[in-house]
Every structure is written in structure tokens, then in C-alpha cells.
A and B are shown apart, each in its own frame.
Chain A
Amino acid sequence: MHKRGIKQWVVPGAILASTLVKSGIGLGSYSGQGTPPMFGDYEAQRHWMELTIHLPLRQWYTYDLPYWGLDYPPLTAYVSWLCGIIGAWIEPSWFALGTSRGIETQGSKFFMRSTVTVLDVLVYLPAILMFARTWQGSRSKRTQTIALLTLLFQPALLLIDFGHFQYNSVMLGFALFALNFFATGQDLLGAFFFVLSLGFKQMALYYAPAIGSYLLAKCIYLGPTYGTALFVRLAVITSVTFLLLFLPFLPPFAPISGIFDPITRIFPFARGLFEDKVANFWCASNVLLKWKNWASSSLLVKLSTGLTALGFLPGVVGLLHSGFKHQLSEKAASESHAQNDERLKHAPFLPLLPYALLTSSMSFFLFSFQVHEKTILLPLLPITLLLSGAHVDSSVFSWGALVNNTAVFSMWPLLKRDGLGVQYIATLLLWNRLIGYNPFRNPEKSFVQLLSLAVYSAGIVLHILEFVIAPPSRYPDMYPVLNVLVSTPVFVLTWLWSIKCGIEVAWALGGLGPGSGSVKPVTERRMSVGADGKGSYRQMGGRAVSLGYSESRKRAAYGGSSRASSVVGGEDELTVLPSGRHML
């Protein structure tokens, strides 16, 4: 008994410690604290709990719109209702209709903070636990633990959800569940969860091009018969989920016009190109170009839509192309189907998905309409997933850490306004130390490391300047604008990098030209035979799916020899290689 050591306590301890950090951040102020009459995001969320428990469903999307009218999809509304019911049961004054506006008692704040923590534990935590076991399934326990730590303490998400106050972890958790189920081959469950993600917060649309094209590519990969079947099933499950989510707003529960209330609230095209200072293409280029002076609003909408589409196109094309390239022959597919083969479940191009997600969401962040600085959380998820499994010396690690830190830096004006300065320092310190990142120590100087040094130096100098010198009265926004000018290039480069990686991974998966992808290694199948029952991800799903996989595949393609690839995979005993070699 006494031999049981610390090791088994690492994961529970990490989870408990993350709760500690979250409640620690929660002690600080939140968005709009003490700023009547409108307050901020905290009040918006609280107000939705208030209005959903007191008003009939028909009025949810129409009630007193100027004061934080509900503008998130129905799942948020339902969750708000549930939280409101519980809160009002504990203390009715927290959610009294009208009179509770701007309530700032200690109890109500603690309750609101708790709802975020509880929802995070219910959705995001299981999602990352499952991620570590599926996507990192072939890696050592240690790598899985590190992946978990990386995701648990991701500073940007902690600061926005538990400091600023939002429920992004729920949306991201659902999206991550979708990815996990794609990795285990349960595409229908994956689609269901992605619809939940969309139904919680429309921002999940940033992922839609990548996820949609992945599923389409999967249908193509499976060949005409099985592919079509999957396509129909996906279509049904997606529409049914959407229907269920919107059911109370549809006939017979509501007149047909009822559906327009939520829709117009969720997609507000009437607002401007960008609101605050956001580190995206429009805001950064606006410093020189002054878009509004020479382009009409409708032109800008078209322009931004076009650019966004152009931006995520590489990811989409990459996935679809791989789908075609690896398409199973009819015979192989039916054979696999008869044996319930792994090949049906695991698309070989799955490693492309995180890069495609990054390309797509970053393109939305950079080029689309009405972007908030907080939306950087969406591109951060895929790159943090990639980072979480990467070796500390790899370029993925450097990029992941750089983007995460820059993202937190890009939100500095917001965090400063919220009074979260000390939390900003603390979470950055904590996370970088936890993942073992120190850009100032690493001796090799690749492009990304030099870039990191430059960005961090600029950031630090900017912070010092802001602390010491007040902005000149002619340019009151000088520091936010400088912040945008430092951050945007990093995001643009990350977007380009994700496209480059996508191409490399696609190439490593079997060349870019029309190939003979349908010829499958025998060994892979043989291995999967023994891998029935639970706990088998490490042997089967995990192998083809592991995030380290693409990395090693990529280098294998460049190194040109299987030798090189056997070195990659790094610290793990269970490397990815046997199946990898065959595909070359």
C-alpha cells in the first residue's frame, strides 16, 4: 500500500490545481464590474439567466434588446435558463426581473463564477481528458499528462472565461468532443457535438469549413456506396440536432416567423467591420488604409467574405484532395465493411484536420466581419492541441507557444480594462513554466525562434512604455494600436504556417499527385485484429491518429528514409512507425 506514490495523483492533482487557479482568477474583477449603466459581458450572461427564467420562450430573443438582448444560439439560452433556475432557488434576488440588473453582491458573483467552473468541468474537462487518450493515444503516459496540463492551464482561455467572464470553454469543449469522436471514427457523434458547439455559440462557425470538408472528404474516401450512406446519415443527424435545438422556436410551438428572432439576433450584419481594436487584418491595415473612407460598407462585407473564403480555401482543398487521393476502391470498402475494419473508421487524412481547423479559424479571425479580440480563442484551440503533443524542440511547439502568448498579449487592452493585469502576469508565468517554455534560453535560432524573440521583446517594451509614459493626447489609442501592429503579423504568419504544414502533412500522407493511396499496408490491418475491446486506442486508433504522427510523417517525407522517422516521435516508447513506413 505504501508503495503507491505521487504519480497516480498527478492527473487528479492537476485538475484540482487548475480548479484552484480558476477560482483564484475568479477572485478578481470581471468585465464591466462597477461600470453602470451597461456593465459588460458578465452582466450580459447574468441578464440572460434573469430573462430566460422570467419570460416565456417567445420573448427571449425580443425582450428589451438594447440592454444586452440575447444574441447567442438557443443552447446558450437553455443553459442560462438552467443556471438561472438554480441561482434563483438559492437566492431569488440575484435574478429578479428588472431589479437585479447590475447586481454585484459577493454571493451572486460567486454563483456566476461557479457556473463557469461547473460547466467547464462538465464539458471542457472531459473533452481534454478524452483528447489526451484518443489523439495522444499512442504516446506515453507522460506525454498525455503534459498534453493535459498544457490544455488545462491555457492562459487565454482561463483569463477570458474565469476572469473576463464568458462560457467559451463550453463551445470549445463541444468542438473538441467532435474532434475526439472523429478520431475514434464515430463521425455521427462528432457531427452531433459540433452542432451542439454551434448551437452554444455561433463563433464555432469558424471551424465549420474545416469540419465540413473533413466529413465530406471522409464520404469521398469511403467510395460511392458507403460514402453516400455516411453522407445521408450525417445530413440527417445534423439537421435533426439543429431542429431539436430550435424546436421551441418552430411550428407547432411558435409561428413560422418566430424563427427569425433568434436568427437575426445571432447574425448581426448591421454592425461595422470591426468594433474595438482587434489584431486582425482589417484593424491593422486600417492604420494606413482607412477602409471606411473609401469603401462602402457593403463592399467591405463582400471583400471580407471573399478574403475569408480565400483564407480557409487551402485547408478545405487539402482535405478534399486527400479524400480523393486515398479513396477506397469499392471492393476494399465492402471488404472492410464486412470485417468491420479500422480502415472504415479512421481516415488517413485525419492528421490534416487540426491544421485545417487552424487555417480556417485563423482566416476567419483575420479577415471576417465583426471580430472580437476574444475570438482568438478559436484558432488557439487547434494550435494548442498540436502544441500539447509536440516535443519541446519541435517547430510546432515554438509556434504553439508563440501564438498562445501573443494571443494573451493581444487581449491585454481588454484585460487591462477588466482589471485583470496581475492575473495576466500570473497565468502567463504559470503556463509557460508548466510547459517548460523559455524562448530566451534556447540556443538554436530558427525563424520562429527569432520571431518569438522579436515579438516578446516588442511586447515587453510596449508594456514598459505603457506603464511609464501616458499616451499623447493626440493618440489616446496609441498603445492598443501598437499592440495590434505587434500581434497581427504573428497571426498572419501562423495562418500561413498552418497552410504550409497542411501541405507538408498532405504530402507526407502520400504525395500531392494522384497516388495509389488505396493500396493499404497489410500490417496495419493485422495489428488491428488484436486490438479489440477497450483500452485498444493505443494500438489501433491512436496509432494512425496520434498528433505526433503527422509530425513524424512529415519529417519522414523530408528525410526520405524510415530511419529519420524513427528518430522522431521523440521521447515515446510507443512510436508511430511501423504503419507509417508502409505508407511511404
Chain B
Amino acid sequence: MGILDTMRKTLRLKSSSSNFKNPTQIPPSTEQSAHKPSWFFGEMETSEWDLLVLSTSIKLLLYPAYRSTDFEVHRNWLAITHTLPISKWYLDTTSEWTLDYPPFFAYFEKVLSIPASFIDPKIVDLTNLNYDSWSAIAYQRTTVIITELVLGAALLRFVRGSVDPPTQRIISASLFLHPGFLIVDHIHFQYNGFMFGILLWSILRARDGNKLASGILFAILLNFKHIYMYFAPAYFVYLLRSFCLSPSGQLQIKNFLSLANAVIAVFVVSLGPFALMGQIPQVFSRLFPFTRGLNHAYWAPNFWALVTATDRIFLRYVTRTGTDIAVNLSGVASTSRGLVGDTVFAVLPNVKPIHTFIITLGFQVVWLVKLWQNPTYKSFLTALTLCGYSSFLFGWHVHEKAVLLVLVPLSLLAGERHAYFRTYLIASVAGVFSLFPLLFTPGESLLKVVYSTLWITFVYTAMRRQVYEFPKSLSYVILDTIEKVYLAGFLPLLAFTNFFPALIRWWMSTAVCIPSSKISCPELASRPTGASLTMEFLPLMLTSVYCAVGLVWGFLRLIFIYLHEETTYQGQLSGLR
């Protein structure tokens, strides 16, 4: 019956290959034979249907949930692409939420706007700002669920023809049910599932040896959302080395030309119309607004969060002790204000966009060289993850949602061996937790915690069996303990972030009652004044700093693993060229 069969099936499949470590001995499995081109609904198994139906019903329940302004952003884009001619798409300023995604996403919105105009013409009315009737909500939420099937299809294909189907099955399921997608797409409102679906298709093509298709898909993805440029260096090096050059280093002219032409063709389809209209500068000014600050309102849990926090501590120290250090006064007020604007440090030297760029690129050179020397699929996957990772950690004005760029490719490596799994676990817990402040309304807060707990419990129990390794040395045990303590620390942090605002309110209850200020909302945060301001921000700062510690540590772990690849057994994907 239903779900129990699914579990039994998973267990049986796993036990059948639990000690299967040698990549050359691929057992004949049903998954292998199922690898035939057909419409993916046709080749879905019962357990996969179960997952689809159950997760879809949870997503349906989220229709009335909280929506961020991104909902209105996308509704406005539906209206822009539907009512205006293409020449005005990147010029329109009716709403403050102007179109700032690349053209393919605009075309995508154009396609979505056609059914929308039949369902409710008011959705695509350009002047009907902040329209959120039930029809608009239902329609837009439905499009997220349906377009996410691209991700589901890619993940299914990952299982078929995988080196180790049982493990890949768990990884695929964990990605399809990822709390990041639930929080960011189905509650907050975005289309990440769809676009990560394209990314995974591209990676899948690389795994299956079709590098041309992989490159084309990535070019298409870039024209949907340019944030995926974070991955571009890895793609560039990988495709150049393993597709355009022969192993001996000679240029494969045919391959090179076909790839170059295909990628150029993609960009022509995307940007061509705007080039003809002479709007390329306009489009680019929309895509790359360099007017923002180092940190986002809520600090993304990256390296800069740690630096900013250090600056805060120094400032405290300086003001307490009266040490004679030049303090930048504008920085005193700036950092924790939570406004989108320039972050100015009070004590530490200030950071400019060029600095972040140099640091990111400097890191990337390290593994890009390694990738150049060893252009296998797994090496590519790791380098890709590290590219996303370093951009997230050191980039300029990184949003916390960008953590998905780390977590999604990293998941594909999770089943390799224990070291990867542990890195994945720490990064996933820290990354998902860092997304929690996106949702601050009480009902959704409960939901995000319960869902993420369920998810991590099942991923952990299922994966742990696959990758278990006996502790090898004392340092291993010590490290293991420290990491466990760090992970356990999320529980008190969760309790603190949830109850601290209530405590503060109770503590300052002499003041006038602030309506529903249990919310630790970044958008509302500029409202309170004086001493309560830092108090309001304390949970957010703590979350961001604590998560940043885990993510930076995960980054170092992954670099270490990658650079020591040949020394030890690395996992099953190593067998793929």
C-alpha cells in the first residue's frame, strides 16, 4: 500500500547494494534498462508517483501562505510582457518592480501570461498594481508547481543510468523535496525549481557525455537568470578542456565551432531582438545594477557577514575601551540598519566591488587549474559547486536565496563518500536555516521548521547508511565531535530566534504595544528606533553569523577534499570520464 511500499522499496534497493563501492562493477538493475527515451510520466515508478502526489498536495496547501513582494514582481512581469510590445519591456517603469531578468525569462513570462489573460485579464493589467486576488494567486502558484516538473524530470533521469541508483534515488528525492525550494519558491515565490531544473539537465547531459547539449542548456539557463554566471568559469574550463581540446591538447575544431555557434545562437535568440532595437545597454543596466551595498538587508550567511560582525565587535571594543583607533562615524550607524544601501565599516577598511571580484576569482583559479588538469565529470561537478560556493561566500550584495546555488550542485556529490556527505550535511543545515528569516509570519514559521526537520531527518537516516565510514584517526573523531556540536547548536539558535523577540517585547512592555512585533521582519525593521533597533536585529545577526560559520567551514572542507582527490578513494562518480 502507498507510502509503505515506497519505503520498503527504497530499503530493499538500498540493501541490495549497500556495500557496493567499486564503480567498475555496475550491477544489472532495472533502472539501467529503463533508460529509454519516452515521456517521463510513462517511466515513473509507483514510489516516484507517491513522492510527486504527496509533495504536490503539500505545495497546494501553501497557496494561501505568505507571499513576498516577489509575487507582485512576477505578476508585474506577466503584465509587462503581455500588454507591451517587446521594445518596451526593459523600458517600462509603471511599477517599481521593473523587469531585471534576461530575455528568456521575459519570454517565459510572455508564455505564462497567455493563459493568465484567459483566466483573469486583471492579472495582466499593467496598471493593476499589487493585484492579489485568489485567481492571481492560484494561477501563479500553479505555474511554479508545474514548471518545477522540469526539475523533477531531470532528477528522474539522474536516477536512470546512474552509477548507484539507490543512492541517486535518495539524492534526487531530497532535491525535489528540498526545503529551499519549498521556502523560496512555494512560499516566498520564485521560479528556482524550474531554473535549477535546466541546470540539472545540463549537468545530466555532461554526465551522459553529451557535452555540446550541456553547454547549450547552460547558455539557455544564463539567459533565464544571469545569477547562474557564478557557474560559468567551471563550464568554460570544462567544456574547453574536455570538449574543444583533445586529451593531448589539440584543438578539436569541429567541436569548438559547433559549441561556439550553438552558444552564440542561443544568445542571438535571446538578445538579438534587443540588439536590433539598440537596447542592449538598457537591458544590461537593468540586469546589473551596481548601486547596491556589500550586504543585503539581512546579511547573507557568507564571508562578509563574518567580517561585518567582526567590525561590530571591534567597534564595541573601541567604544568601550576608548582605544585610539580611527572610527568611521558613518559606519557606526550603517551596518545594522538593514537598508539596501552601502555598507560602511566602522573600524575595518571598506570593501569595494572590485575587491570581492578579485577574491572570488582568485579562489576560483585554484580549482579551475585542477579542473583543467583533470576534466572528468566529477571534477567538473565539484569545481562547479566550488564556483557557486565561492561566489556566494565572497560576492558583492549576495542574497541569502543564492545559497541554493551551493546546496543544489553539492547535493549531487553527497553520496560519494562520508567526507562529501558530511560537507553536504553541514552546508545544507546551515544553508536551509539561513533561509528561515525569509518567512517571519507565525504560521509559515512553524511550517518551515517542521518541514525542514522532517526533510533533514529522512535525508540523514537514508544517506548515512550509504556512506558510513569507520572513524580512522583521533583527529577525525575530534573534528566529528566539533561538527556535531555545531549542528546541535542550531536547536538553541532556533529557540533563541523564535523567543527572543517575544522576550524583548515583554521586557519593554511599558512602551506602547507594537502591533504583531513578534515578527523579526527585515522589511519592517527600519521602523523601531533607538535601543530596540539592535535588539530587533540580534536574532538576524546571530542567524547569519552562525550559518556563515558552517558554510565557510563547508567551503574549506570541499576545497580540501577536491584538492586531495587522487590520494584516497573518492566515490563512485570518479569512474565517469
Residue B477 is within 8 A (CB to CB) of chain A in the complex: no
Contact indicator A433/B58 (Cβ below 8 Å):
no
User: In the bound complex, what is the Cα–Cα distance between A484 and B114 (angstroms)?
Assistant: 38
Query: A20 contacts which chain B residues (CB < 8 A)?
Result: 58, 447, 450-451, 454
Contact indicator A146/B7 (Cβ below 8 Å):
no
Residue B461 is within 8 A (CB to CB) of chain A in the complex: yes
Contact indicator A435/B457 (Cβ below 8 Å):
no
Contact indicator A2/B1 (Cβ below 8 Å):
no
Query: B64 contacts which chain A residues (CB < 8 A)?
Result: 27-29, 419, 422
Query: A26 contacts which chain B residues (CB < 8 A)?
Result: 443
Q: Interface size of B by Cβ–Cβ distance < 8 Å?
A: 44
Residue B323 is within 8 A (CB to CB) of chain A in the complex: no
Contact indicator A19/B54 (Cβ below 8 Å):
no
| B461-485 Cβ-contact flags toward A at 8 Å (1 or 0) | 1101100100000000000000000
| A17-28 Cβ-contact flags toward B at 8 Å (1 or 0) | 101110111111
Contact indicator A427/B454 (Cβ below 8 Å):
no
| CB-contact partner of B443 in A7, A16, A110, under 8 A | A110
Contact indicator A422/B462 (Cβ below 8 Å):
no
Query: A419 contacts which chain B residues (CB < 8 A)?
Result: 64, 134
Residue B531 is within 8 A (CB to CB) of chain A in the complex: no
| A155-186 Cβ-contact flags toward B at 8 Å (1 or 0) | 00000000000000000000000000000000
Which A residue's beta carbon lies closest to that of B519?
A: A106
Residue A142 is within 8 A (CB to CB) of chain B in the complex: yes
Given the known A-B contacts A20-B447, A26-B443, are A430 and B62 also in contact in the complex, defined by CB atoms under 8 Å?
no
Contact indicator B461/A106 (Cβ below 8 Å):
no
Residue A243 is within 8 A (CB to CB) of chain B in the complex: no
| Residue among A4, A20, A423, A429 facing the most chain B CB atoms (10 A cut-off) | A20
Residue A440 is within 8 A (CB to CB) of chain B in the complex: no
Contact indicator A13/B457 (Cβ below 8 Å):
yes
Which A residue's beta carbon lies closest to that of B8?
A: A142
Residue A294 is within 8 A (CB to CB) of chain B in the complex: no
Which A residue's beta carbon lies closest to that of B64?
A: A28
Query: B54 contacts which chain A residues (CB < 8 A)?
Result: 430, 433-434
Contact indicator A433/B50 (Cβ below 8 Å):
yes
Contact indicator B10/A6 (Cβ below 8 Å):
yes
Residue B458 is within 8 A (CB to CB) of chain A in the complex: yes
Contact indicator A430/B443 (Cβ below 8 Å):
no
Query: A3 contacts which chain B residues (CB < 8 A)?
Result: 465
User: In the bound complex, what is the Cα–Cα distance between A385 and B10 (angstroms)?
Assistant: 28
Query: B56 contacts which chain A residues (CB < 8 A)?
Result: 426, 429
Contact indicator B442/A24 (Cβ below 8 Å):
no
Residue B32 is within 8 A (CB to CB) of chain A in the complex: no
User: In the bound complex, what is the Cα–Cα distance between A93 and B515 (angstroms)?
Assistant: 10
Contact indicator A17/B454 (Cβ below 8 Å):
yes
Contact indicator A435/B516 (Cβ below 8 Å):
no
Residue B68 is within 8 A (CB to CB) of chain A in the complex: no
| Residue among B138, B447, B458, B513 facing the most chain A CB atoms (10 A cut-off) | B447
Which B residue's beta carbon lies closest to that of A397?
A: B1
| Residue among A6, A105, A142, A426 facing the most chain B CB atoms (10 A cut-off) | A6
Residue B532 is within 8 A (CB to CB) of chain A in the complex: no
Given the known A-B contacts A27-B65, A429-B56, A434-B54, are A149 and B3 also in contact in the complex, defined by CB atoms under 8 Å?
yes
Q: Interface size of A by Cβ–Cβ distance < 8 Å?
A: 45
Contact indicator B441/A422 (Cβ below 8 Å):
no
Taking the nearest CB of chain B, how far is it from the CB of A87, in angstroms?
Answer: 13
Residue B63 is within 8 A (CB to CB) of chain A in the complex: yes
| Residue among B57, B442, B461, B464 facing the most chain A CB atoms (10 A cut-off) | B57
Residue B11 is within 8 A (CB to CB) of chain A in the complex: yes
Residue A86 is within 8 A (CB to CB) of chain B in the complex: no
Contact indicator B61/A426 (Cβ below 8 Å):
yes
B:1-33 near A, CB below 8 Å: 1-5, 7, 10-11
Which A residue's beta carbon lies closest to that of B46?
A: A436
Contact indicator B443/A23 (Cβ below 8 Å):
yes
Which A residue's beta carbon lies closest to that of B60?
A: A426
Contact indicator A423/B7 (Cβ below 8 Å):
no
Given the known A-B contacts A5-B461, A107-B518, A427-B57, are A436 and B446 also in contact in the complex, defined by CB atoms under 8 Å?
no
A:419-449 near B, CB below 8 Å: 419, 422-423, 425-427, 429-430, 433-436
Residue A113 is within 8 A (CB to CB) of chain B in the complex: yes
| CB-contact partner of A433 in B2, B447, B451, under 8 A | B2
Residue A475 is within 8 A (CB to CB) of chain B in the complex: no
Query: B461 contacts which chain A residues (CB < 8 A)?
Result: 4-6, 9
Query: B443 contacts which chain A residues (CB < 8 A)?
Result: 23, 26-27, 106, 109-110, 113
Query: B516 contacts which chain A residues (CB < 8 A)?
Result: 105-107
Contact indicator A10/B60 (Cβ below 8 Å):
no
Residue B53 is within 8 A (CB to CB) of chain A in the complex: yes
Query: A433 contacts which chain B residues (CB < 8 A)?
Result: 2-3, 49-50, 53-54, 57
Given the known A-B contacts A6-B461, A9-B458, A23-B446, are A434 and B60 also in contact in the complex, defined by CB atoms under 8 Å?
no
Contact indicator A6/B458 (Cβ below 8 Å):
yes
Residue A512 is within 8 A (CB to CB) of chain B in the complex: no
User: In the bound complex, what is the Cα–Cα distance between A106 and B445 (angstroms)?
Assistant: 12
Query: A142 contacts which chain B residues (CB < 8 A)?
Result: 4
Taking the nearest CB of chain A, how far is it from the CB of B389, in angstroms?
Answer: 28
Residue B208 is within 8 A (CB to CB) of chain A in the complex: no
Residue B444 is within 8 A (CB to CB) of chain A in the complex: yes
Residue A392 is within 8 A (CB to CB) of chain B in the complex: yes
Which B residue's beta carbon lies closest to that of A12?
A: B457
User: In the bound complex, what is the Cα–Cα distance between A113 and B443 (angstroms)?
Assistant: 9
Given the known A-B contacts A106-B442, A142-B4, A435-B2, are A27 and B447 also in contact in the complex, defined by CB atoms under 8 Å?
yes
Residue A550 is within 8 A (CB to CB) of chain B in the complex: no
User: In the bound complex, what is the Cα–Cα distance between A254 and B441 (angstroms)?
Assistant: 45
Given the known A-B contacts A5-B11, A24-B62, are A392 and B447 also in contact in the complex, defined by CB atoms under 8 Å?
no
Residue A138 is within 8 A (CB to CB) of chain B in the complex: no
| B434-449 Cβ-contact flags toward A at 8 Å (1 or 0) | 0000000111101100
Taking the nearest CB of chain B, how far is it from the CB of A243, in angstroms?
Answer: 40
Query: B134 contacts which chain A residues (CB < 8 A)?
Result: 419
Residue B453 is within 8 A (CB to CB) of chain A in the complex: yes
Given the known A-B contacts A5-B465, A430-B53, are A13 and B447 also in contact in the complex, defined by CB atoms under 8 Å?
no
Taking the nearest CB of chain B, how far is it from the CB of A25, in angstroms?
Answer: 6
Contact indicator B61/A422 (Cβ below 8 Å):
yes
Taking the nearest CB of chain B, how far is it from the CB of A389, in angstroms?
Answer: 12
Given the known A-B contacts A6-B11, A17-B454, A106-B441, are A435 and B57 also in contact in the complex, defined by CB atoms under 8 Å?
no
User: In the bound complex, what is the Cα–Cα distance between A325 and B119 (angstroms)?
Assistant: 66
Which B residue's beta carbon lies closest to that of A430?
A: B57
Given the known A-B contacts A6-B11, A434-B2, A436-B2, are A13 and B454 also in contact in the complex, defined by CB atoms under 8 Å?
yes
Residue A546 is within 8 A (CB to CB) of chain B in the complex: no
| CB-contact partner of A146 in B1, B10, B444, B457, under 8 A | B1
Taking the nearest CB of chain A, how far is it from the CB of B191, in angstroms?
Answer: 20
User: In the bound complex, what is the Cα–Cα distance between A26 and B453 (angstroms)?
Assistant: 19
Contact indicator A27/B468 (Cβ below 8 Å):
no
Which A residue's beta carbon lies closest to that of B441?
A: A106
Taking the nearest CB of chain B, how far is it from the CB of A8, in angstroms?
Answer: 8
Residue A145 is within 8 A (CB to CB) of chain B in the complex: yes
Query: B62 contacts which chain A residues (CB < 8 A)?
Result: 24, 27
| B505-534 Cβ-contact flags toward A at 8 Å (1 or 0) | 000000001011010000000000000000
User: In the bound complex, what is the Cα–Cα distance between A560 and B4 (angstroms)?
Assistant: 34
User: In the bound complex, what is the Cα–Cα distance between A206 and B518 (angstroms)?
Assistant: 43
| CB-contact partner of B468 in A2, A21, A106, A145, under 8 A | A2
Which B residue's beta carbon lies closest to that of A113?
A: B443
User: In the bound complex, what is the Cα–Cα distance between A10 and B4 (angstroms)?
Assistant: 9
User: In the bound complex, what is the Cα–Cα distance between A113 and B465 (angstroms)?
Assistant: 38
Query: B464 contacts which chain A residues (CB < 8 A)?
Result: 2
Interchain Cβ contacts under 8 Å between A and B, 14 examples: A2-B468, A5-B465, A9-B457, A9-B461, A23-B446, A23-B447, A27-B64, A110-B442, A146-B1, A426-B56, A430-B53, A430-B58, A436-B2, A436-B5
Shortest beta-carbon contacts, A-B, top 9: A24-B61, A436-B1, A110-B442, A426-B60, A436-B2, A430-B57, A426-B57, A2-B468, A433-B53
List residues of A whose CB falls within 8 A of some B CB.
2-7, 9-10, 13, 16-17, 19-21, 23-29, 93, 105-107, 109-110, 113, 142, 145-146, 149, 392, 419, 422-423, 425-427, 429-430, 433-436
